[in-house]
Structure 1
Amino acid sequence: MPSDELPRFRPSPLLRLLIPVVFAFLVQVPTTLAVSLFARVGPLAVTASVALAAGAALALLAARRWPGPTVAVVSAMSLAALLVPPDAGPPLLALPFAIISAVARGARMWALLSVGVAWAAAVIAAGFLDSAWHPIRIAVTTLGLVLCFAIGEGIRTRMAAAAERRAQLAERRRTVEQQERARIARELHDVLAHSLSQIAVQSGVGLHLFDREPEKAREALASIRTLSATGLDEVRGVLGFLRGDERTPTAPLTPQPQLADLPALAAARSGLGLTVSFEDHLGGDAPPSAVQTAAYRIVQEALTNVVRHSAATSAVVRIDRSDDHLVVRVADDGTGIPADGVAGGGIRGMHERAELAGGTIELADAAGGGTIVVARLPWNGASP
């Protein structure tokens, strides 16, 4: 997200509840009173019309907790308002709000039955009262009611899609965190297994020869000291490597990832609504191993940021050669660079990896939405 872009305004739940109530009340009550007085109906009819208009608007206060009963009550009040003089009174705007709210909140059957029965009763009652409505009026009103149902269904579909998307993003974050814990455990196991097993063997030898051959026991103890120091250095190297601190002089014993491992990384990051594709335009050429490892780690961190901090549905990893540089590009269609610094640690780690390899990192918001990460690394590694 660009730094100068204002955050999207999201009204509070209370405000979203009150807006239809206030709007319907302010429109229905004054217009109903004005039309009734203009038509010169009796005081009883005026009182009934205004009371129905006010009651239908206030009934919307229960739309969130009881959407089904609310649409039933508003439909009954709308039916009564149609039958109270004057015949050409204004329609109650509370009914469209009640229909849309009920359908959007899953009370579709309540809305269908309530509105259907009320509308059929209104048409039949108008015929019995010798005030049969014109077919155009019936058709237009019916079309308006159908439109309200369609709007409610559209909102319901969007709400369901948003809820599913939130669930997918939460699951993706949990999956990445589990994979990260497994990766740390695997790295530490690979580093410690050799050293500790050798220490166990040498300590057994030392104990066995301690009394008979003290010189041999001394050699075993010296070997244990060397192995333990090496093991500690390797553990520090792994922990520093996992933190993104590649200034650590030692390296883990596990094989370092190369560019050939990127397709597997892209496949592992795909799933739960995210598709990661890989494009190799090197034509079989390959830079030195250290450059490949740096490029892999940059792609890994960029995809981790996509999964954790971006509502992306697709990402593309592309590697290419431009003159004497390896160019790595990761593009997604998510929400862009976070303005609150949520992904700051990952971005800083990518910059550090690129600098250690003698290259640069560029991050930008894509024109159509999303983020583009471009790393340019010297093909032959950092200059001495």
Structure 2
Amino acid sequence: MGGEMKPVVIIGGGPAGIASAVHLARRGVETVLIERSARLSGRAASFLYAKMDEEIDYGQHVLMRCCTHSIDLLRLLGQGDSVSFQKSLRVPMRSETRTDEIASRPLPGALHLLPSLLTYRFLSFSERMNAVKAALSLLLRAPDDVSFDEWLRGQGQGKREIATLWEPISVATLNAHAGDASARAARVVFKRGFFKHHGADIGLFTRPLSHVFSSATSYLEGSGGTVLLEAPVSRIIVERGRAVGVETDNGDVIDAHAIISAVSSPNLVSILPPDVARDKYFSCLKGLNYAPIVNVHLWFDRSIMNEPFIIAVDSRIQAVFDVSATRRDTKRHHIVISQSAATDWIDAPINGIVDLSLAELGRLLPQARKAELIDSLVIKSRSATFVPSPGTDELRPEPTAPISDLFLAGDYTATGWPATIEGAVRSGINAVEALLSTTTR
């Protein structure tokens, strides 16, 4: 792919598009990466909150050590130190009356979690034994056509085991309640992450996300590529069954040797020619449902946490992160409550969300009862990620589209991973491999 050949055009500058562009650049392929925003980063973005003079993330993103492709990409971008990983898995679990943790122990394979499960204080002894049996079954098989909740009940799991163990992990990793996620999607998280020694070690970003991913601009331009910012794409140009270019909102046309779409499925459908969008390959994307995430940013006059994060049990909030501690910011005391699958929160009034959050923090964290709230900010994302509901695997497309020279990337594609940064990065690499395989036949 050299000489007078036109560039590969990549639409969308989030992790999927960045991964595609970087992977192509390493193969010596000329690329044009087009992003509608002022910086590369996509949904993994941040912005300056002037009132507190702090760059804050739109959403709270976490990596696990099994996210190997994301880790490799960050290293290539010179951002390997932007994520701080635990030395070994430790997930603090906290309710109003109890504290415990899901922690790794020096045992082989999935057995590394066995001591935690056998002593988990939120369950009785018999419930713990039931949970261990279900975990062993989850290692073997879980279908895509039943919900995780239904599968768990079939394994003898009661309300208590589901509510205090399986549900918190399902919501945090899949942005879906156990009753909405497929059993297979949950199995992916547990088998590749939690059931592997060090697979689920938690990594938290130590700097704002836009700073992390926008570093791809200098990498790509230094490799001979082009990055176009603030350039929304209005349509993909298709001629005689082949994708030949894109047109931006301001009327600029960019000819392409091939196109990789790395935008969300609804955005992709909106920029395709109508007759192309009606093809079954694209029309089935309308069957993907999306779930909201709400992030509640709170600034206090003092520190209220002793951990970088906690998972709440028997609470109306889910996960709490100490952003200031992770970023080693001694000037502020900034925490974030991340509420996934937040259907009940997305249309709730802001004041009500803040009041509920403060009340729950007071129940969970004794230090919060004495702290004074300085400021708050609620960020709602109505369609944050697709829901990996039963049967969804059949709707997730492979990267090669039925239109010649058009390839798809995005966490909704058939990566075998849930809607995460890792799923997005893998999708970008999959799209490139599919593209290169067609040019070498």
TM-score range (shorter-chain normalised) is under 0.3
* TM-score normalised by L of structure 1: 0.19
Greater share of strand: 2
Q: TM-score, normalization: structure 2?
A: 0.17
Higher helix share: 1
Task: Tell me which of the two structures has the higher relative contact order, counting C-alpha pairs closer than 8 angstroms and 6 or more residues apart.
Answer: 2
Q: Of the two, which has the highest radius of gyration?
A: 1
